[in-house]
Amino acid sequence: MKKSNPMLILILTIGVFSILNTEMGVIGLLPSIAEHFQISISQAGLTVSLFAIAIAVSGPITPLLLSGIDRKKVMLVVLSVFIVGNVLSVFVSNFALLLGIRVALGLFHPVYCSMAFTAAAASVSKEEAPKAVSKVFIGVSAGMVAGVPIASFIDGMASYEAAMAFFVLVSGIVFAATWILVPSMPVAGEKGSYGSQLSVLKTPLIWISILTVVLLNASVFGVYSYVSDYLGSVTRMSAGSISFTLFVFGAANIIGNLVAGKLLTGQAMKWVILFPTAMIAVYAALFVLGGYVLPTMLITFVWGILAGGIMANINQYLISSAAPDAPEFANGLFIASCNVGTTVGAAVGGVLIAGMGISYVIAVGIGALSLGIAAILLRHSVSQHIVHAAEAG
């Protein structure tokens, strides 16, 4: 039985927060970026979309290529890249250069997150791994929830440059903590060859798992991408109420992470199968009661627990358990699959809104979840077949 290392888990959690803070915090700076570089808001939005595309492209590749190197060294290199990239972002005066920096950071993003999830799981027993990973996921939730308002606040109180400097500060603190407090994490004896890791792509189970993750993530971000518009147009909330409701959603994400660790430590597949059904019920309630402020806030809280916390852990579990012998590569596939799902969900949601109106964006979530249930049941059937075949052999 491995003994848990709370300090390692804490540093990994803060490290993931620093990475997600750099990715998502820019959303709160888009108006200032547009003004600073004399461009449109849609052009400024490229700092977010190109970052996400870089993650999707890099996700399966860079964690695999670096999977044989001491994880501490890799994480220090990635944090160094983020520090340098964010410092350059403070002083760069050309928007094209800023986009180049953002793409470079996006390419390194999956490396740190993949290593963090793998290191957390490897630091405890196999049975406790989901709980350790769920704690690191708190950093993901915090980065997504806190990154935008913190960056926006600093930008409003000081400047765009000061907000970018905040990203440097957080990454610098994590770099120092990792350098001083994190032990060496060599992977000798754990890592298979590149060929053996890539061979997981030959199994139907990994592809079904990837499809499931794409569908589940699409079910959330097909709706969440337009939630501000939904709350304003359908629920008719004020700007202040919308901000508070989004904060509630984010806080619920963190609760969901803590709950997910306990659920997946026990009968994991039972909860994986129940999850999309619960989400469909939440969306149905939102569709019926979306015109009422208080019920919508309560529904959003439950949605946040399920969508932001539990779903993220389920997605990671589905892919990592399908390729246990290639953990870094599996986590890279997980990160890429999530970004594909986010992109697909947001695109389908946009098309549906254009054709039917904002009220019906919830149909994207329900549709993707319905397909997700079929994918989960298929995955479970294939997984059981593999288990029975191994026992018979």
Task: Choose between 358 and 393: higher pLDDT.
Answer: 358
pLDDT of the residue at 216: 95
Q: What is the pLDDT of residue 189?
A: 54
Please, are residues 323 and 330 in contact by the beta-carbon 8 Å criterion? yes
3-state secondary structure of 249: helix
pLDDT of residue 188: 57
Largest CA distance in the chain: 67
Annotated domain spans of the chain: 1-191, 192-393
Please check whether residue 313 is in contact with residue 213, taking contact to mean a CB–CB distance below 8 angstroms: no
**Fold held by 1-191:** Growth Hormone; Chain: A; (1.20.1250)
Q: What is the pLDDT of residues 245-302, one digit of tens each?
A: 877 887 888 888 888 877 777 677 888 889 999 999 999 999 999 999 999 999 999 9
Q: Which residue did the predictor score with more confidence, 62 or 278?
A: 278
Name the pTM for this structure. Answer: 0.78
Q: Is the model's pLDDT at 3 over the cut of 60?
A: no
Confirm if 75 and 118 have CB atoms less than 8 A apart: no
CA atoms of 332 and 23, how far apart (whole Å):
17
pLDDT tens-digit profile of 78-137? 999 999 999 999 999 899 999 999 999 999 998 998 889 888 888 888 778 888 888 888
Q: In the chain, what are the helix, strand and coil shares in percent, each to the nearest 5? A: 85, 0, 15
For residue 11, the model assigns a pLDDT of: 93
Between CA 286 and CA 230 the distance in angstroms is 10
pLDDT value of residue 255? 86
b/e per residue 185-196 (b: at least 16 CB within 10 A): bebeeebeeeee
Q: Residue 1 pLDDT > 50, yes or no?
A: no
Asked if 191 and 57 touch (Cβ cutoff 8 Å), the reply is no
Contact criterion met (CB below 8 Å) for 259 and 348: no
Q: Are 86 and 167 in contact (CB under 8 A)?
A: yes
Q: Computed over its alpha carbons, how large is the radius of gyration of the chain?
A: 20
User: From CA 192, how far away is CA 68, in angstroms rounded?
Assistant: 8
* E strand segments, 171-316: none
Q: Tens digit of pLDDT for each residue in 199-243?
A: 888 899 999 999 999 999 999 888 887 887 888 889 998 877 887
Query: How many Å apart are CA 175 and CA 227, to the nearest integer?
Result: 35
- The pLDDT mean for the chain works out to 86
pLDDT for the residue 379: 93
Alpha carbons within 13 A on the beta-carbon side of 361: 27
Q: Give one word for 191, left, alpha or beta, with left for phi > 0 and alpha for psi -120 to 50.
A: beta
Which of 28, 171, 16, 160 has its CA nearest to residue 98?
A: 160
DSSP 307: I
Long-range contacts (CB closer than 8 Å, 24 or more residues apart) made by 275-278: 275/216, 275/306, 275/310, 275/311, 275/314, 276/216, 276/219, 276/369, 276/370, 276/372, 276/373, 276/376, 277/373, 278/306
Cα–Cα dist 374/212, whole Å: 9
Of 168, 65, 50, 172, give the one whose Cα is nearest residue 101.
50
144-190 pLDDT tens trace:
667 767 887 888 888 888 989 999 999 999 999 999 988 888 875 55
The CA–CA distances, whole Å, from 282 to 164, 204, 348 equal 37, 31, 20
Tell me, rounded to whole angstroms, the distance of Cα 37 from its chain centroid: 29
Angle between helices 95-122 and 129-157 (to 10 degrees): 150
CATH superfamily of 192-393: MFS general substrate transporter like domains (1.20.1250.20)
Q: Are 1-191 and 192-393 the same fold in CATH?
A: yes
Judging by beta carbons within 10 Å of its beta carbon (0-12, 13-18, 19+), is residue 294 exposed, middle or buried?
exposed
H/E stretch holding 2 reads none
